[in-house]
Chains A and B, each alone.
Chain A
């Protein structure tokens, strides 16, 4: 049997209270009755009743006034108004004010039964919706933005301010500072949080593919376009689109993007009719867009379209007081992910981390801690577990030709990133192909880290 309902019947006529009370009890529900609005208010407290049936015409406070007071006292309460034919207009007013429905006296027994059944179903759907929203919020909550420095507190304040709005946000900051994390935090706290956050890396794709990804295409639009493909702007309908590395867009795509932002509609490649889509834009760049505008590489009109709410993420070296908290945060995350017992950060290791200048920012710190967790055997993360780039002190100044300086810098970044070419490319702000070319040209070789060598007496695994 379905869960019985807790029903409150409010009517000044005893016959109505008694008849409805008896009738609902026959259905297994729990019923309380009140002969006046005052009595109803005395009985009602949040969560005590599921449904209240209120007579509209009662001496003293009428049903409409009672409705508004009950809704204030218990916003979850489902209210059904009971009325005579002559007062149907009033009942309609009650519904506009938030009553679930009304029923005209005398009731057809079937109508009342259906009405209560529907109200119960609506309540259970609402409760289920609430539960799903809660689990969705828990599941899709972005990782926390860690830190207590004034710089990061300012960022958090800005995130809070802008999330409640629909404003376009332009996040700038060096590679690895956490621009996507901030974008996710803005979306997660926004009214659009139950809609999607569609992420597009504008710097990672060639122009033609990026156009198709952003705007979609119709079947036959180009060789290989076998079926219609919805673009990211369409997929972001009801949510937000995160345009990462927006400074890398080609002039052609910049024009197309500007049109989409102005029209709030996209025309798929090979398509004719624009498709309306409702999205919010959060863009990010590690470039100085204003400089690129001056250099003629970025459209000024697009820049102003995107730069509605600018938000700058400070590099990690400017908030070194957050390094320890971040390191401990990553330490906890990686030990949990690797099912390891908790590992503590030694004071020496913490000091080494704080002294380093972190050119790869938080991403570099995260990689360093992940690597350190892998190599740490005990329950303390010592300095020896950290990458050489972190522990070998500040980089030495180099002199020589431009190429020599460049080579030394590339080598240094590769060392700092543990020869993670993608990460090093991001730090150097070049694409991976360019970096590979330089590595080949200078015949750079990955040094063998002593700590990765098999130890005597161990089998090397």
Chain B
């Protein structure tokens, strides 16, 4: 169900650093994202404190965070929350990100995109690359794109980081054709 207002002319993605995300990482994600989409990517002030945790779990409540991001949306931008905290919703053990089809905002967690989470050496470039791709996937849902069956498409569902890496960095031709201008790739040849 779409709740986006047709009168809104989106020209920007407003990145909200959450859950202790460092400014350096927020800037890097914003910079790489700007090069992938038609809209500019601007940084909002970091939010203070940590989000509400799910009862009995050391994970932030993704739906509560998303609802907070969607409240009182700016006229010209889609909000993107990027958090260092692990995210989940009551029925799932975790989520990489969250967005409603046709919603006002998207949310992504770095926690399980970090190679260190799986006991591997930290790799900043891999982490930021995965975060940008996950952000594009969730923003795709905001643009009312459903999951796609094509293996190479960024809109394919991925329930693990391996599958997220396998699905590639680009929207398939059919999904790309449905993207709004603000999400359309600026430089599709760019390797992300």
Q: Mark B121-146, 1 if CB is under 8 A from A, else 0.
A: 00000000000000000000100001
Using A1-B149, A22-B100, A26-B147 as known contacts, say yes or no to A111 and B91 having CB atoms under 8 A apart: no
Cβ contact within 8 Å between B160 and A107: no
Which B residues are CB-close (under 8 A) to A26? 101, 141, 146-147, 157
Bound-state CA distance A2–B163 (Å) is 19
Residues of B within 8 A of A112 (CB): 92, 159
What is the interface of chain B, defined by CB distance below 8 A to chain A? 63, 88-95, 100-101, 141, 146-149, 157, 159-160, 163
Q: A438 within 8 Å of B by Cβ?
A: no
Q: Which of A104-156 contact B (CB under 8 A)?
A: 105-114
In the complex the two chains form, what is the Cα distance from A28 to B149 in whole Å? 10
In the complex the two chains form, is A106's CB within 8 Å of B90's CB?
A: yes
Closest CB-CB distance, B59 to chain A, in whole Å? 10
Spot the interface stretch: A13-21, A66-74, A426-434, A452-460: A13-21
> Within A394-440, which residues are at the interface with B (CB < 8 Å)?
none
Distance in angstroms between the alpha carbons of A1 and B149 in the assembled complex: 6
**Interface status of A291 (Cβ within 8 A of chain B):** no
A111 to B163 alpha-carbon distance, docked (Å): 13
A25 in the interface, Cβ–Cβ < 8 Å? yes
Interface residues of A (CB under 8 A from B): 1-2, 13, 15-16, 19-20, 22, 25-28, 105-114
Contacts of A28 in B (CB 8 A): 146-147
Give A105 to B54 CA distance when docked, in angstroms: 14
With a cutoff of 8 Å between Cβ atoms, the chain B residues found around residue A2 in the complex are 149
A28 CA to B157 CA, complexed, in Å: 11
A93 to chain B, nearest CB (A): 22
A19 contacts B63, CB within 8 Å? Answer: yes
In the complex, chain A residues whose CB is within 8 Å of the CB of B91: 15-16, 19-20, 105-107
Beyond A19-B63, A22-B100, is A109–B149 a contact (Cβ under 8 Å)?
Answer: no
Q: Which of A26, A27, A28, A113 has the most CB of B within 10 A?
A: A26
- Give the shortest distance, in Å, between A117 (CB) and chain B (any CB): 10
- Contact call B90/A109, Cβ cutoff below 8 A: no
Q: Write out the residue numbers on chain A whose beta carbons fall within 8 Å of the beta carbon of B95.
A: 109
**CA distance in complex: A105, B157 (Å):** 20
Inter-chain contact count A-B, CB under 8 Å?
58
Q: Is the CB of B146 within 8 A of A106?
A: no
Residue from B88, B90, B149, B163 in contact with A110 in the complex, judged by beta carbons closer than 8 Å:
B163
CB distance from A85 to the nearest CB of B (A): 12
28 contacts between A and B (CB under 8 A): A1-B148, A1-B149, A15-B63, A15-B89, A15-B90, A19-B63, A19-B90, A25-B101, A25-B146, A26-B146, A27-B146, A27-B147, A28-B146, A28-B147, A106-B90, A106-B93, A107-B93, A108-B93, A108-B159, A109-B92, A109-B93, A109-B94, A109-B95, A109-B159, A110-B163, A112-B92, A112-B159, A113-B157
Please, which residues of chain A bring their CB within 8 A of the CB of B147?
A: 26-28
CA distance A15 to B67 in the complex (A): 14
Q: Which residues of A contact B94 (CB under 8 A)?
A: 108-109
> Whose C-beta in chain A lies nearest to the C-beta of B57?
A106
Known: A15-B63, A15-B91, A27-B157. 15 other contacts (CB 8 A): A19-B91, A19-B92, A25-B146, A26-B141, A26-B157, A27-B146, A27-B147, A28-B146, A106-B88, A107-B91, A107-B93, A108-B93, A108-B159, A109-B159, A110-B163
* Minimum distance in angstroms from B159 CB to a CB of chain A: 3
Decide: B157 and A16 in contact? CB cutoff 8 A.
Answer: no
User: Which chain B residues border A109 with CB–CB below 8 Å?
Assistant: 92-95, 157, 159
Task: Check if B90 sits within 8 Å of A108, measured CB to CB.
Answer: no
- The CA-CA distance from A107 to B92 in the complex, in Å, is 5
Q: How far is the CB of A155 from chain B (nearest CB, A)?
A: 56
Chain A residues with CB under 8 A of B159:
108-114
Bound-state CA distance A107–B89 (Å) is 10
Residue of B nearest to A27 (CB): B147
In the bound complex, what is the Cα–Cα distance between A110 and B161 (angstroms)? 10
State the Cβ distance, A172 to closest chain B Cβ, in Å. 61
